[in-house]
Structure 1
Amino acid sequence: MKMTREQLHDLVWSMPMTEIARKSGVRDQHIARACDGAEVARPRAGYWQKVEHGKSVTRMALANDRYAASDVITIDASGWTIS
């Protein structure tokens, strides 16, 4: 799985990580670690239940303090890297 930080940010805010993991063939923990390490904000626990029940939710913006939005993240079975 290879994408920019911006694409990863959009992806994790569009569907639950378990679903992303199932579709991409990597573990959800690897996606979560990549997000945390590359400073990509991800939804907190309960976010998807709120969405499902029509409650108000806030999507966090992508911070570009340490990494650029265009930096490429690679996530595979061994973990993740950023370039």
Structure 2
Amino acid sequence: MHKLSRAALFELVWSKPMTEIARELNVRDQHVAVACDLFDIARPRAGYWQKVGYGKPVEKAVLSTEAFPAEEIVCVGV
């Protein structure tokens, strides 16, 4: 199990594909997705990483703090 702040997980999710994050944390990508969903962390939509790979413009979401503060600790891999 890994503990990260919501802000740290948000930055991680928007910096590399979910499969890479899961491999680094030694968890399944579904665990990362569930943690994001439970703590209201937006994830890149389908096709985002392909656009990034081709140098096309993409929009990064903003971390919402309505339901949870950015400092809230998130457990990934539970």
TM-score, normalised relative to structure 1: 0.90
Number of positions where the alignment pairs a residue of Structure 1 with one of Structure 2: 77
Structure 1 distance, partners of 2:48, 2:68, is 25
- Corresponding position of 1:57: 58
Stretches of structure 2 that go unaligned for 5 or more consecutive residues are: none
Alignment-mate amino acid for residue 54 of structure 2 = H
- Post-superposition offset of 1:75: 1.2
Runs of 4+ that moved beyond 4 A: none
Residue deviations 1:39-68 (CA, integer Å, cap 9, x gap):
001100100000000000000000000100
Alignment-mate amino acid for residue 42 of structure 2 = A
More strand by share: 1
Percent identity of equivalent pairs: 51
Alignment-mate amino acid for residue 9 of structure 1 = F
Instruction: Give 1:1-83 correspondences, 5 Å limit.
Output: 1-76=2-77, 79=78
- Post-superposition offset of 1:37: 1.1
- Kindly report the root-mean-square deviation, in angstroms, between the aligned alpha carbons of the 2 structures: 0.6
Residue deviations 1:5-54 (CA, integer Å, cap 9, x gap):
00000000000000000111011001001101100011001000000000
Structure 1 distance, partners of 2:55, 2:49, is 10
Which one has more relative contact order, counting CA pairs under 8 Å at least 6 apart?
Answer: 2
